[in-house]
Amino acid sequence: MVPELEKATVRIRQPERVRGIIQALREQGVAKLQVISDFDMTLSRFGCNGRRCPTSHNILDTSRVISEDGKKKLKDLLHYYYPIEIDPNRTLEEKRPLMVEWWTKAHELLVQQKIHKSDIAQIVRESEAMLRDGFKEFFDQLHKNNVPLFIFSAGVGDILEEIIRQANVFYSNVNVVSNYMAFNDDGVLTHFKGPLIHTYNKNNTVLQGTGYFQQLSTRTSIILLGDSMGDLTMADGVPSVENILKIGFLNDKVEERRRKYLDSYDIVLESDETLDVVNGVLRYILTKT
């Protein structure tokens, strides 16, 4: 069916079940399909040549528009809260208020930096942001087949939109919900628009009033792409789901988190910096039978 599933990076706990879901997605056809994806470390790369790639927040945090003091404070927050975010032994209930704390503090620090809207494109150009290998085929396939791509991100919307724009794949079928900056008349950052989206509230609670999934009520086949436990709830707002294939990128602390990922995602991709498997699945589903 999908030769890419034979890759060494692929782990599947229930191969028969996964084959069944992929087959059902194909039979339901392209008109019923939608893709829901996280952005940072899912569509963007986790690492390159042994170095971490930046998230949309990191791109801002380490850019030339942030003072040295600001950079240090933002880094301290990362070192304190990131281990909590990925700790497999803490419950989501424990993590949620701490994530709100982290995002709120980080956003307050960014606001203090008086960032200019006009600097964003340059900040992204100068950064080491990288989309995963195969991103062009991924975005092109979805666009060509009119498959909606919903990017649900706890990152910075203005930055990630700019990354997609500079990669020339910001097509009309792409919709983003994220943390967006608000600027005053002089183009200076004053605050972040609500509601706050962090790793563990990516569900219907922050989509209230957007009506996005309601407009797509006939699209009951879903491919969900994520890299954290928090991404598993991204499709909660879909009114009726007939088939859902959950593909998880396990980027970090692979050994200790493997079991949890295999219990939660249908397909787990370990330390795989490509979209090969996703593209292979899409090719199979989108091939006219």
Known active-site residue 40: yes
Active site residue 158: no
Helix (H, G, I), strand (E, B) or coil at 179: strand
Question: Pick from 126, 151, 124, 155: which is nearest to 55 by CA?
Answer: 155
Residues 190, 220: Cα–Cα separation, whole Å = 39
Residue 193, judged by CB atoms within 10 A of its CB (0-12, 13-18, 19+), counts as exposed
Let me know: does 278 contact 42? Beta carbons within 8 Å: no
- The residues, any chain, with a CB within 8 Å of residue 186's CB and separated by 6 or more, are none
Residue the block writes with tokens 């200076």: 188
Q: Copy the structure tokens of residue 23.
A: 């087959």
Collect all residues with Cβ–Cβ distance below 8 Å to 164 and sequence separation of at least 6.
131, 139, 170, 174
**Contact status, residue 267 vs residue 127, Cβ threshold 8 Å:** no
Could you list the active site residues? 38, 40
